[in-house]
Amino acid sequence: MVSDTTAAAETPEGGRDFIRDIIAQDLAQGRVQTVVTRFPPEPNGYLHIGHAKSICLNFGVAEEFAGRCHLRFDDTNPTREEQEFIDAIQRDVRWLGFDWGDNLFHASDYFEQLYAWAEHLIASGDAYVDDQSPDEMRAARGTLTEPGRNSPFRDRSPAENLALFRAMRAGEFPNGTRVLRAKIDMAAGNMTMRDPTLYRILHATHPRTGDAWCIYPTYDYAHGQSDAIEGITHSLCTLEFEDHRPLYDWLLDRLPIAALGKPARPRQYEFARLNIAGLVLSKRALTRLVAGGHVAGWDDPRMPTLAGLRRRGVPPEALREFIRRVGMARANSVVDPALFDFTTRELLNRTAPRRMAVLRPLRVIIENYPADQTEALPAVNHPDDPEQGVREVTFSREIYVEHDDFMEAPPKKFFRLAPGREVRLRYGYFITCRDVVKDEAGDVIALRCTYDPATRGGNAPDGRKVQATLHWVSAADALPAEVRLYNPLFTRPDPGADGDVFADLNPDSLEVLTGCMLEPNLVVLPEGIAVQFERLGYFCPDPESRPGALVFNRTVGLRDSWAKESGRNAPPSVGKVKK
């Protein structure tokens, strides 16, 4: 597998990659006056991060070159398509930041025109009705090294083909008994050109056309012709369609598309699919994850779907920036998921408000602080962005700190709380641990500390230093919450490489922490906005979160969790891990 480490460097914002070069040239040479692209999802599942690449490309170039981008539902397979998916796709494209305006289309809008053109192909001897069974057709198709065999029905007259095709449309035959095929070349080196199927019989109710049709066009037949009808100038698709391009052109060459009066004939260009190590980006597999109950739904934050990423708190800007960094290469590669986390973290570090939350609380009693006293301490919302202002956090005699921030017998490099040790409370005071409270089992359940009133705000007037600053929340007004931590859904970078994707599911992909304690200021934040829990990472309220039953999702941790193993402390290279 080819690895391309330079793509991103060559892809400045709105700048040049090979597709943008082609478009710029087409405009300069006058082949095209207005750039028209399309994003053509099949509504048989939710959009995933791979689709984001196609969306950013198609809508992105339309925007950059002052053209337009259509959203076209490729709804040619009524057995797998649902309204839920149609709605979700529109919601997700908008969320990602793109707008198709009035340009919402469906391949099913063109069924009548596509049918008329199929009759045109029959009349000109370029298509025929084949009565072979699917098995017979498969057997006659040949292999990469052997030519296929002509169908015994290949030389029917146009008149006979026309009569049969009309009977197909009229519903006279059951599913699978006949197809319409292009008459090209059963010995073609490119298997796609071995008399590909254009229409199949499918007695199924379509979400939009109902029972009007019982024959449906294939992707190959519908796609290019839909492009022509809409006046698409650049039909951008993934590399697996490279072999289909000759068919795309073959059909356009033989159909009277000039009569449509569109300014330019569509051309297909292929780019590399987005693959990310450890993620499964196949709708078929994602559908099975949902149907099999391995995740809570299409928007489970562990899913690589746009709905899942949104629920996890990933801002759409981070996703767009990630796609920009990956770049638009012509060769397939596998991207390191750390690049996605890095990009998300980098954006959130710049923008996310800071708050304090304790995930695994340990009670601290500050013995020399009056029981009936509380005070409001100013806390900056963002260290580098004064515009985010200052909030108040309450300090009182009882607070919670992170259980991990205390050790009874600390090893050498542990600088946080320990018996006799003084540390700083963020925005607060210095405290010193005086005593440890244990339960019957001998587990530490609370600490008795004292504070130094002279250190308000976090500095000692005598200049003495502490080695650690801890986050904390005041026990009396902290809000309990459930916090969900997400780990990779699969245990290996190439899930399913041994045959079964489900065998590689990570049993620890979801970690639910209950009894977490949050600073009350957290509930006043707008929904869907991720915040930084100081020292812990970025978190976002779940849509299920309610007052009294708060639920937060971890968007991404504070540090590159891979860094430790790989010894990396610089950003992950834009380059990609080799498969």
Tokens describing residue 556: 């991404």
Q: Which is nearer to ligand ATP, 60 or 353 (CB)?
A: 60
Least spacing, CB of residue 505 vs ligand ATP, in Å: 19
Catalytic residue among 178, 283, 354, 355: 283
Rounded CA separation 534/523 (Å): 16
Secondary structure (3-state) at 514: strand
- The vertex-563 CA angle with 558 and 569, nearest 5°, equals 85
Least spacing, CB of residue 562 vs ligand ATP, in Å: 22
Q: Which is nearer to ligand ATP, 251 or 335 (CB)?
A: 335
Least spacing, CB of residue 271 vs ligand ATP, in Å: 7
Burial of residue 316 (number of CB atoms within 10 Å: 0-12, 13-18, 19+) = middle
Q: Which of residues 28-87 bind ligand ATP (CB under 6 A)?
A: 40-42, 50-51, 53-54
Backbone region of residue 316 per phi and psi (left: phi > 0; alpha: psi in -120 to 50; beta: other values): alpha
Going residue by residue from 165 to 204, which x/- string records binding to ligand ATP, judged by CB under 6 A?
Answer: ----------------------------------------
**Using the rule CB under 6 A, which residue among 281, 436, 529, 563 binds ligand ATP?**
281
* Dihedral sign computed on CA atoms, order 106, 112, 113, 116: positive
Segment near ligand ATP (CB under 6 A), from 21-29, 278-286, 446-454, 561-569? 278-286
Is 247 within 8 Å of 307 (Cβ atoms)? no
> Count of alpha carbons within 13 Å of 97, Cβ hemisphere only?
13
If binding is defined by CB under 6 A, does position 274 make contact with ligand ATP? Answer: yes
Segment near ligand ATP (CB under 6 A), from 63-71, 224-232, 279-287, 357-365? 279-287
Residue 160 a catalytic site member: no
Is 278 within 8 Å of 288 (Cβ atoms)? no
Q: Which is nearer to ligand ATP, 304 or 537 (CB)?
A: 304
**DSSP track, 315-349:** -HHHHHHHHHHH---SS--EE-HHHHHHHHHHHHH
Segment near ligand ATP (CB under 6 A), from 181-189, 223-231, 281-289, 391-399? 281-289
Residue 578 a catalytic site member: no
Least spacing, CB of residue 245 vs ligand ATP, in Å: 13
Q: Which is nearer to ligand ATP, 41 or 301 (CB)?
A: 41
Is 266 within 8 Å of 255 (Cβ atoms)? no
Beta strand pairing status for 479-486 and 550-557? parallel
Catalytic residue among 254, 273, 288, 535: 273
Tokens describing residue 564: 């430790």
Q: Which of residues 468-527 bind ligand ATP (CB under 6 A)?
A: none
Q: Give the binding-site size for ligand ATP (rule: CB under 6 A).
A: 15
Rounded CA separation 75/382 (Å): 47
**Using the rule CB under 6 A, which residue among 205, 282, 561, 566 binds ligand ATP?**
282
If binding is defined by CB under 6 A, does position 237 make contact with ligand ATP? Answer: yes
Catalytic residue among 10, 42, 317, 482: 42
- How many angstroms from the chain centroid is the CA of residue 400? 36
Residue 169 a catalytic site member: no
Binding site for ligand ATP (CB under 6 A): 40-42, 50-51, 53-54, 237-238, 273-274, 281-284
Q: Which residues are catalytic?
A: 42, 273, 283
